Amino acid sequence: MEQTVTAMIRAAGRDQLSPGWIFLPSGPISPNTLCIRLADDEEMDSLAASLGFPEEGLSTDDLNSIFLWTQQLAGVDPSDDQLLRSYMYYLKFDAFLPSFDAPDPPPPEEVRRRMDRQFYEKLGLERADVACREAGCSRGAVAQSIFCRQHHFASVMGRSSPFDD
């Protein structure tokens, strides 16, 4: 079955699409980009590629969820552009589009660094009167720990602290 990507999303959202996965051609995707739906099996990737649709899209269950989510964001009948924006966001970030004008989320490395910094800051100040018990460390231990901020971070997170303040 060959249809536009937005027609597939609409069909899935109305439970008119049998289970499977959609596959797209290489290159940019527009609301009018043709795609195919194939049943879920071990050979679907090679079959799709042989038919000229080498790029794996999403499952029909995901398309259904994307349609319903976009319908909530847009109202009763989302436009093709809104459906495509929602589809592309989900495909790229494995998350539902928060709003049509939402920026892309920050890269995972940036999110991790922010979370690490928040954790590091919550450890509080190091105590000058209680030494860190890590061999060779001259820093003070944080409250409720035998380690300084760096070594407590490493102990809890299982990796070295990216911070040295």
Give pLDDT tens digits for 13-67. 999 999 999 999 999 999 999 999 999 888 999 999 999 999 999 999 999 999 9
Give pLDDT tens digits for 141-161. 999 999 999 999 999 999 999
Give domain limits for the chain.
2-93, 108-157
Separation between Cα atoms, residue 7 and residue 157, nearest integer Å: 46
What angle, 0 to 180 degrees and rounded to 10, lies between the N-to-C axes of helices 80-93 and 60-74? 130
Separation between Cα atoms, residue 9 and residue 91, nearest integer Å: 13
Statement: residue 1 has pLDDT above 90: no
Mean pLDDT of the chain: 95
Statement: residue 131 has pLDDT above 90: yes
Statement: residue 135 has pLDDT above 90: yes
- Asked if residue 141 lies in contact with residue 127, where contact means CB atoms within 8 angstroms, the answer is yes
Q: What is the dihedral of CA 117, 122, 125, 130, to 10 degrees?
A: -110
| Chain position carrying tokens 């928060």 | 98
Strand partners, 142: 126
